[in-house]
């Protein structure tokens, strides 16, 4: 053996293997972060939508009760021809104001549904948002009609109340019944 053979250095390690490992770990970390973010957004949206269905039904029921109470209070004079028109107009205005307050309350629910973060690839949440929003807006439409003209109260309240069945079905399909990710 010669000294030259003993003194030769090992071939340099390729930097590509280290760089490739770092890139792979980074890609995996980013993918995991996106997955966690997506699941949290899904869970938060589902919670918002479930709460919105309950709120819409409660606020519509409460609003209808208030409108009917106001109407019951003012009814004898609203329809009486013996009461001056300006008094009847004022009493109709009370009913309209009560309906407008119910509509405003439902608008807040609709705004919370619209503001919920739904990611582009979460099609089940998009369908749930659309169904819940349709329910809330249908409830609000009844009160908007009364608020516009109290003389339409009979027709508006005689309309069948919007069903929550579509919204609840869409929520079930979106995984709203699953345990939320924290």
Q: What is the pLDDT of residues 31-81, one digit of tens each?
A: 999 999 988 988 888 889 989 999 999 999 999 889 888 888 877 777 777
Confirm whether 8 is domain-assigned. no
In degrees and rounded to multiples of 5, residue 177 shows phi and psi of: -90, -5
Count of beta carbons in the 10 Å neighbourhood of residue 88: 17
Q: Place 17 in a pLDDT band, splitting at 50, 70 and 90.
A: confident
Confirm whether 13 is domain-assigned. no
Confirm whether 2 is domain-assigned. no
Residues 60 and 102 sit within 8 Å (Cβ to Cβ): yes
Report how far residue 141's alpha carbon sits from residue 97's, in angstroms, rounded to the nearest whole number: 15
Residues 171 and 132 sit within 8 Å (Cβ to Cβ): yes
Output the pLDDT for position 114. Answer: 92
Confirm whether 138 is domain-assigned. yes
Predicted model pTM: 0.74
Residues 50 and 178 sit within 8 Å (Cβ to Cβ): no
User: In the structure encoding, which two tokens stand for residue 39, read together?
Assistant: 């699941």
Confirm whether 153 is domain-assigned. yes
Confirm whether 182 is domain-assigned. no
Report how far residue 56's alpha carbon sits from residue 132's, in angstroms, rounded to the nearest whole number: 9
| CB neighbour burial string for 142-180, b if at least 16 within 10 angstroms, e if fewer | bbbbbbeebeebeebbeeeebebebbbebbeebbbeeee
Q: Place 165 in a pLDDT band, splitting at 50, 70 and 90.
A: confident
Confirm whether 10 is domain-assigned. no
Q: Residue 49's domain spans which residues? A: 19-173
Confirm whether 9 is domain-assigned. no
Please report which helix (H) or strand (E) contains residue 65, including its range. Answer: helix 15-78
Output the pLDDT for position 105. Answer: 95
Q: Place 30 in a pLDDT band, splitting at 50, 70 and 90.
A: very high
- Bigger pLDDT: 38 or 158? 38
Total domains in the chain come to 1
């Amino acid at each position: 053996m010669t000294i030259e053979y003993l003194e030769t250095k090992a071939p340099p390690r390729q930097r590509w293997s280290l760089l490739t490992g770092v890139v792979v770990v980074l890609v995996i970390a980013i993918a995991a972060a996106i997955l966690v973010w997506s699941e949290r957004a899904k869970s938060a949206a589902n919670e918002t939508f479930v709460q919105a269905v309950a709120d819409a039904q409660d606020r519509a029921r409460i609003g209808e009760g208030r409108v009917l109470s106001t109407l019951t209070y003012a009814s004898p004079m609203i329809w009486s021809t013996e009461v001056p028109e300006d008094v009847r107009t004022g009493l109709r205005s009370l009913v309209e104001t009560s309906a407008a307050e119910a509509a405003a309350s439902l608008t807040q629910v609709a705004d919370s549904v619209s503001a919920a973060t739904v990611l582009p690839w979460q099609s089940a949440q998009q369908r749930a948002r659309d169904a819940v929003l349709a329910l809330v807006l249908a409830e609000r439409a009844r009160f908007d009609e009364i608020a516009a003209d109290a003389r339409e109260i009979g027709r508006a309240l005689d309309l069948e109340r919007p069903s929550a069945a579509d919204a609840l079905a869409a929520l079930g399909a979106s995984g709203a019944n699953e345990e939320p990710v924290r």
